Structure 1
């Protein structure tokens, strides 16, 4: 809205007085006449007056009055005209337009995590540092222009996109050297974060070595204090709170570590195995909750019945169709089969089972009569004993053509297709013992059955499944109970019971762990206590605990989880809010964040990590100024290996502008990545040839069964390597995931990278965490389809010279599932596709 006013002012000195001037009666002739005419007029006038021809006074009076009147009128007219002209010329007009908004002014919000400052790097200091690096480091270790940009970044935040083999570790070491030696920053104002034991060990060794070249004292203990994991940084923060000085991390229980050594424990954040000490706490909590909560007991009963019950099989299934033909023959021998199985179970001390009534009840299966072994009244279900895998697979009944396990498999298939009663099929002795403990009311032994959440590859003991699901939810920065409350499942879906039970159990477990002496807490709970939802807890921390987080350098940032991101942002915000008081008397001022990563190497999405926070770095970590560095030189592999890996992953979302260039010694001789049909014998033969040449060799596998399949072909090599000192070994067997960060001259990949399942619950919590792209209802599964491509990229880029990829031909439903090998293009020079 615009409003206008005008204001006028007059220039001074343009006004005229209204008083008329007084005129004398003694008027002379007009002054414009020449003097002789004026003299003649005077003489003539006097003569005429004497002759009385004129009246002198009247003339003068009339002359004077006329002159006076004309003079005054002239002045008035001149004044009026002059006044108008002068007024218009001298008038000033001020126009005021009111363009202000109708609303009142509201200050904006400063969302920056950092002050607006710059690292004090002068041209002279840079020149001196470069000269020192040129003198002290060998030629092959001299930084590239892009690496110098990373080392000399002076902005509060820095994002470094470093592909495989980009030399990021050397650059990080030099960055630390610059801050410590050339700028005088204190070591306790910095933290370098690595993710794995191996990478931390290698980085510490390199850091001590480079500092030694500058004659700087940095012992191993100082280096370990500087180079940390996220877990080792959070533990001291919790222990500083009143009442938690002795708190133990759940993940380190059973490690026999002294209380003060936990902070430096080289734990693997991706290790999901549960040890005996942890399981004891899980079982104790389960026992107490089962007694205290009727609803929890009801849910467990339903889950047990579902988990133990034999799964139905469609009658049109090929196995059913094949075995229907021998139904009558199988039924005629079933009683003998039952006797044989019961004898085996009895000899193993696994039968009879308390809580199971031994009852050879018969049931009609496809028109023939078969037998049960017993009945569980508590579950209202019948029991059939199975053939334990530990028994001799060739064991037969007297006079039988088929081994016992084959007869048992036929019976199981027929029961799956035609039995209309609830049946519990005890697969092995161990499963029976767990069930025995459970039925006997020994809740300290745990629930006693396995459960398979939809989307998981295999069933797991129920409490293990609880831990896995809760860990995934918490890694996404969500509260378990709140997340479960926002889930929904179809009517009759047993996962609804599972997650309701999880919600009850997880809250009880946290209370149970805190009630121990000393108290116990999970790392996820620790991060949540100091995350963005609990800023008041950070305000309780003393300055010395926050100061090491002031200048953070984080490696492998693409694998960070939402939970960690929330903690980092909360810490950086608290550091900024404390201002200069946090840094009094110190060279290190303000705060900074330098993150190094490669979104193409993000392969831990199944644990809740996401490359989003690296790909959208400036949005997630708001800063007054940011530096972006692209490290494109690859010092490990030749160009064919680089191009093949990038071709596999190119369809996955990624940071734009990435294209690696081979720069190392391997760049000179290029051979394509060979893709072959799966053949363990041929793979082992080629692998041994490379080993005999003196090359380092890496064998990568996707599943433990793949490792077992190749082991018999490589056993002599495995035995030979086991007898060598660690420094002389040239052969390693690793999963695709665990090979990350490592390299070998020749890499052999056994198995495809494939997303095999669909996870309804993970899709739901992924959306809750804001990780979905658009309105994608299957956000997690979509992310996993991209991740299998990145996993193949990681595996291929471990190779320096040679890469062989043996993949099996997909069968059944797997043929329609996403897999990385479909991206192979045999027409490209960097691939040699030898599959039929």
Structure 2
């Protein structure tokens, strides 16, 4: 507190005032002294200055003391502020989650009630395991379920739907369960109806079908809701009989082209060929390359063997040409319009041979071959060799030593296709086959166009843009293939949309509602989006980048619409539950990738997620499981996976690996069938099926005479067998990576797939996929599995094979290749 003036030090106290009379006297006395000049003015001034200085000094001391005291007191009452804030100013971040931060309202009491109901209503063999309950009760917005082969996921998925609908009051119209094929959809619908009936809900077939869908049957109504597309048809299901909604459930990996589709392809091709010079030029290059006789190296064994008879073959060549032309003329296949008959001579290894004609349009010479339908024993008069054998010698020599552009017509049928090509016949299309580098076989050119475009679009890429980024050598015919594809695909999309009703590919439909075209969602009503609110997807390891983009865009749009989308409904917000097994991802050759399942949390960003590992295998005995996992474990996968056999104990029988022996296979298969076992024969090549089916015709006849429910023999490709099982499984053929695909490696990189820096990411993925394919085949077996592979010397060198992973000394494999039985450590 400040001091009062009465508290001042004595030296600073003011002088006490004198009485009035004394003050007057002092003033008069002072004035008199001044008049008498008795005052000393300098002394007075000096005193005044001294007084001022002493007073000032004393005042400063007093003021400081007083101010310091006041400051200390006030400082005790004031907050000291130290500003530690960052000087950097930042904008708000982006919430990229696909879901709101919410949880299913599952209380402990509700979970207890559900478990009690399931125990009472489902048989003991169908009771969920602890891991399955974790899947059913997941309360986070996103859930990934790693379910290996035979994990019993179907019942768990149905119970998940029951939880949302029966116990939480979510409308079925807010849910979609996605299966991949018509067969799996049919099975799941039946199980859904069966279990819902136990809880007192009678689901009609129509109601169940609305919930259980394929991706394709879900996108189709979305596009049909757009103005002008109410009657839209999908090209993949287009036919002369018209398309039904059921067609949207067809196998999405089946690219076989029917007659109605081919008619549209051919009509578009003919118009483009007529109107676009650059397209005609590219097709000309492809045609010439496709028809041209493929070269042989000089050191090829066939060339070395037949070089010795070059001079003799040249002497008889004119007579051979006469004989072949007579055969073709008799068959009505010669002369051919557009081919000028001309016996042009060709120098072959120093000898003179002859051609049969010249195609000006292709700038290529033509040689007629020996049609395989002719009698192979036909001979020229006095000739020692058959015409077919003489033709074979000539063909080999031409392949090795002819330097002219040459077309070798192998058959009368091939000549008809060439004729339609030259005539520009709209009903026939290009009329020649083509083989892209990396493909195992050739196919009609337009089929190749469809397959390549579908692969590119499945990767989420635009065909025209992707083609522009591809790179090939200047003389590589594949460069002209993709230039022609780019022109054709754009023309085809316009051609299909111009039909009545309009037609569109499924890939085009998905691209209309992908992440790059999110604005199109504004054209959809809440009712059209609502079925995607709570998604449950099976076989998620087989999704493509195109599908993933559509899923993410749909979920993002649902979240952006907010609570207004769910007013008055029990089902709120959105969720995603995906079930898959990266070890069963076997459709990379169509553009699918397990990446999106393996990196689920990164690909589907969520405020909270749950991962469930279903490790129990209710199908196979442990040796089958261990053998399959040993093969596939070399491929990148989700860590921590190891399945164990559950349920009723089964005998431990090792998987047998044998040399290819069709007679032994037939005997063993017949033995199992006659013993009452269910038998599954899986093959890698269609020719193998035809061969074995002929050998087991007796079994086939018996089985096909039974009602479908009682049949015990199925013959399928490895890829077609997913989801099936049998007591005894016969695998015919190894799983091998045979070729390298330059264009697929390039577009794989464009799509961001594969490891960074890998120059051949697609090929690398395929080397992993052959291991997964073997895993799928082996895990179809309940008890017995027999794997017949080609002998080592019958396979090419340096070809990655799944059977290379078969170990020695492991109890779950019995390798009897080469006749030596590996019985070590068999306990």
TM-score exceeds 0.5: yes
Which residue number in structure 1 is paired with residue 637 of structure 2? 654
Task: Say if 2:657 and 2:814, in contact at 8 Å, map to a contact too.
Answer: yes
Pair 1:610 & 2:585 matched: no
Give the drift of 1:821: 0.5
User: Among 421, 429, 432, which residue is 1:446 paired with?
Assistant: 429
Q: Secondary structure at the residue paired with 1:533? A: helix
User: Among 466, 478, 503, which residue is 2:461 paired with?
Assistant: 478
Task: Say if 1:286 and 1:444, in contact at 8 Å, map to a contact too.
Answer: no
Task: Say if 1:236 and 1:263, in contact at 8 Å, map to a contact too.
Answer: no
The number of residues matched between the two structures is: 770
Which residue number in structure 2 is paired with residue 305 of structure 1? 288
Q: Secondary structure at the residue paired with 2:358? A: strand
Residues 147, 389 of structure 1: CA spacing in aligned structure 2 closer, same or farther, 3 A cutoff? farther
Which residue number in structure 2 is paired with residue 148 of structure 1? 133
Instruction: Tell me the C-alpha RMSD between the 2 structures.
Output: 2.2
Which residue number in structure 2 is paired with residue 751 of structure 1? 733
Pair 1:409 & 2:392 matched: yes
Alignment of structure 1 residues 661-810 onto 2, 5 Å = 661-665=644-648, 667-810=649-792
> Partners in 2 of 1:594 and 1:228 — Cα distance?
15
Which residue number in structure 1 is paired with residue 28 of structure 2? none
Give the drift of 1:516: 1.4
Residues 395, 169 of structure 1: CA spacing in aligned structure 2 closer, same or farther, 3 A cutoff? farther
Task: Say if 1:231 and 1:263, in contact at 8 Å, map to a contact too.
Answer: no
Give me the TM-score of the superposition, normalised by structure 1: 0.89
> Partners in 1 of 2:631 and 2:777 — Cα distance?
11
Q: Secondary structure at the residue paired with 1:241? A: coil
Q: Which stretch of structure 1 is more off in the superposition, 600-609 or 410-419? A: 410-419
Pair 1:203 & 2:188 matched: yes
> Partners in 2 of 1:761 and 1:532 — Cα distance?
25
Alignment of structure 1 residues 357-756 onto 2, 5 Å = 357-397=340-380, 402-665=385-648, 667-756=649-738
Task: Say if 1:637 and 1:664, in contact at 8 Å, map to a contact too.
Answer: no
Q: Secondary structure at the residue paired with 1:288? A: helix
Give the gaps of 5 or more residues in structure 1.
Answer: 1-13, 24-75
Give the drift of 1:86: 7.5
Pair 1:284 & 2:270 matched: no
Give the drift of 1:619: 0.5
Which residue number in structure 2 is paired with residue 36 of structure 1? none
Residues 345, 166 of structure 1: CA spacing in aligned structure 2 closer, same or farther, 3 A cutoff? same
Q: Secondary structure at the residue paired with 2:807? A: coil
Give the gaps of 5 or more residues in structure 2.
Answer: 11-59, 819-827
User: Among 809, 829, 836, which residue is 2:811 paired with?
Assistant: 829
Q: Secondary structure at the residue paired with 2:612? A: strand
Task: Say if 2:650 and 2:783, in contact at 8 Å, map to a contact too.
Answer: no
Give the drift of 1:234: 0.6
Give the drift of 1:708: 2.2
Q: Secondary structure at the residue paired with 1:774? A: coil
Give the drift of 1:420: 1.5
Task: Say if 1:233 and 1:263, in contact at 8 Å, map to a contact too.
Answer: no
> Partners in 1 of 2:170 and 2:548 — Cα distance?
25
Give the drift of 1:237: 0.7
Task: Say if 2:631 and 2:775, in contact at 8 Å, map to a contact too.
Answer: yes
Which residue number in structure 2 is paired with residue 71 of structure 1? none
Task: Say if 2:270 and 2:424, in contact at 8 Å, map to a contact too.
Answer: no
User: Among 241, 266, 270, which residue is 1:256 paired with?
Assistant: 241
Pair 1:16 & 2:7 matched: no
> Partners in 2 of 1:496 and 1:720 — Cα distance?
52
> Partners in 2 of 1:246 and 1:647 — Cα distance?
51
Task: Say if 2:370 and 2:388, in contact at 8 Å, map to a contact too.
Answer: yes
Pair 1:317 & 2:304 matched: no
Give the drift of 1:358: 2.2
> Partners in 2 of 1:257 and 1:433 — Cα distance?
31
Residues 399, 117 of structure 1: CA spacing in aligned structure 2 closer, same or farther, 3 A cutoff? farther
Give the drift of 1:364: 2.6
Task: Say if 2:424 and 2:430, in contact at 8 Å, map to a contact too.
Answer: no
Give the drift of 1:80: 8.4
> Partners in 1 of 2:794 and 2:785 — Cα distance?
28
Task: Say if 1:296 and 1:504, in contact at 8 Å, map to a contact too.
Answer: yes
Alignment of structure 1 residues 30-45 onto 2, 5 Å = none
Per-residue deviation, residues 472-491 of structure 1 (Å, max 9, x unmatched): 00000000010111111122
Which residue number in structure 2 is paired with residue 167 of structure 1? 152
> Partners in 2 of 1:699 and 1:341 — Cα distance?
44
> Partners in 1 of 2:812 and 2:309 — Cα distance?
53
> Partners in 2 of 1:794 and 1:548 — Cα distance?
32
> Partners in 2 of 1:352 and 1:503 — Cα distance?
35
